[in-house]
Structure 1
Amino acid sequence: MNYPIPAKTAISELEVKKSRFIGIASHADSRDAALTILEKIRADYPDARHHCWAYQLGHPDTPTSAAMGDDGEPSGTAGKPILNVIQHKDVSDVMVVVVRYFGGIKLGAGGLVRAYSGAAQAAMADLAIKHHVSLTALSIVSDFRHEQFIRHFADTHQGQISDVVYTDNVALTLHLPDEATDPFETSIGALNIQVRRATE
């Protein structure tokens, strides 16, 4: 599945009644990666009052995982608004952290929701996007004469070749975008090429 993901980290800042809200949106392709980002941001902003966050993984239309944290703010006023912003953007594999430096004036529940939403929106608006492409790994054994055909197919379909071994024939691992896998298998039907979908 192809879908938009962050290309690099975006940082934005919002001030609301003397409180600073720093929104940081980053690429994270797993829960561990998201929590590693959170720990790094806590280390980068150690004197902040709150480090609230949310992430979403997998295709934006059918996420495989999502989570959020209020980090001491009243329940539902920080993590949920951040996650709502993510869910309304066509982007996934994303971790958004909003760092708050308390300015001494309480904002109330509605004010907090608006502030955390605003900081998350600003970071997401500045986010550069690239596309995640799911790849299928194929283990291939072929006569030498077909190697050039395989390499050409990989080049023209955004595939990658790894683990090439030459013996009496050529054995290689080919990573193809999911949508190119069936056409590849069809195109080699008449050739003496053994293919199996690798388990990674």
Structure 2
Amino acid sequence: MSPPESPAPAALPGTLAGPVDHELVVKKSRFLAHVAPARTVEEADAVVARLRKELWDARHHCVALVVGTHADRQRSSDDGEPSGTAGVPMLEVLRRRGLTDVVAVVTRYFGGVLLGAGGLVRAYSGAVAEALDHAAAEGLLLRREILTEVTVDVPHADAGRVDHLLRDWATTHGAVLEEPTYAAVARLALLVPPGALPRLRDDLAAASAGALVPAPGADRVVDLPAS
């Protein structure tokens, strides 16, 4: 009897390549959403502090943040809005979209019309959701994968040919080619999905009559285009 298959590892949450802004107007109130990369709570706090300074005349600056490789730390603030109507709905959007290392700030300029709890929830969550829709359209969403660092030592005379081979291989196997280094030999480097390592060994052996052997190194969390 074959041993049971190991479950596939859970996908890591993604992140943003850069900040995105979006304005939502609801019954004359302006909701200015700013969603930005932030790898630490301190970076997120700095984004919030900057917006508070720039938009000093606004009534509310509501916040949601998620940081950590596995979305380990999460925080939200209603900043004076009724409890549970702003920060938590914003945070829920970030969770549903599977994002981490991001901070969302929605600045509200009150328009004179009360929206009620439900209206506030829809406005704050909608502002963040629409900002992230724009981020997706602009190619700012990133997925994350754990890839293995691999090096291949090649004689200088063969470096160009093997570099070309690895570039082609990387595009069809979800790998990422890194910058080579040159010393006594040319050291070519790439980041490879762990499950593709046996295939890389076989393909290099076939292309070099067994002369080239990839050397796996450490695993690394890598940001890649979501598409």
TM-score under structure 2 length normalisation: 0.66
| 2:200 equivalent in structure 1 | 184
| 2:107 equivalent in structure 1 | 99
The alignment partner of 1:193 has SS state of coil
Q: Which moved more, 1:80-89 or 1:11-20?
A: 11-20
- Distance in 1 between residues matched to 2:143 and 2:92, nearest whole Å: 22
The alignment partner of 1:72 has SS state of coil
CA 110–2 in structure 1, closer or farther in 2 if over 3 Å, else same: closer
Residue 92 of structure 1, CA deviation: 5.1
Taking the TM superposition and a 5 Å limit, the aligned residue runs for 1:3-42 are: 5-42=15-52
The alignment partner of 1:126 has SS state of helix
Alignment partner of 1:138 out of 138, 144, 150: 150
Q: 1:28-84 CA distances to partner (integer Å, 9 max, x unpaired)? A: 45544433433333333222222112234578xx64443322233333221110112
Residue 9 of structure 1, CA deviation: 3.4
| 1:174 equivalent in structure 2 | 190
| 2:181 equivalent in structure 1 | 164
The alignment partner of 1:154 has SS state of helix
Point out where structure 2 has 5 or more consecutive residues left out of the alignment: 1-10, 221-227
| 1:197 equivalent in structure 2 | 217
Q: Which moved more, 1:148-157 or 1:77-86?
A: 148-157
TM-score under structure 1 length normalisation: 0.73
Kept after mapping to 2: 8 A contact 1:57/1:94: yes
Question: Greater RCO between the two (CA within 8 Å, min separation 6)?
Answer: 1
Between the aligned residues of both structures, percent identity stands at 33
Q: 1:140-159 CA distances to partner (integer Å, 9 max, x unpaired)? A: 43334553324521354152
- Distance in 2 between residues matched to 1:101 and 1:111, nearest whole Å: 15
- Distance in 2 between residues matched to 1:49 and 1:40, nearest whole Å: 15
Residue 166 of structure 1, CA deviation: 2.0
Q: Which moved more, 1:50-59 or 1:71-80?
A: 50-59
- Distance in 2 between residues matched to 1:33 and 1:182, nearest whole Å: 40
Taking the TM superposition and a 5 Å limit, the aligned residue runs for 1:80-95 are: 80-89=88-97, 93-95=101-103
The alignment partner of 2:182 has SS state of strand
Q: 1:156-181 CA distances to partner (integer Å, 9 max, x unpaired)? A: 415222250221x2234433455544
| 1:43 equivalent in structure 2 | 53
What is the root-mean-square deviation of aligned Cα atoms in Å? Answer: 3.4
Point out where structure 1 has 5 or more consecutive residues left out of the alignment: none
What is the count of residue pairs matched by the alignment? 197
Kept after mapping to 2: 8 A contact 1:143/1:170: yes
Taking the TM superposition and a 5 Å limit, the aligned residue runs for 1:45-124 are: 45-57=55-67, 63-89=71-97, 93-124=101-132
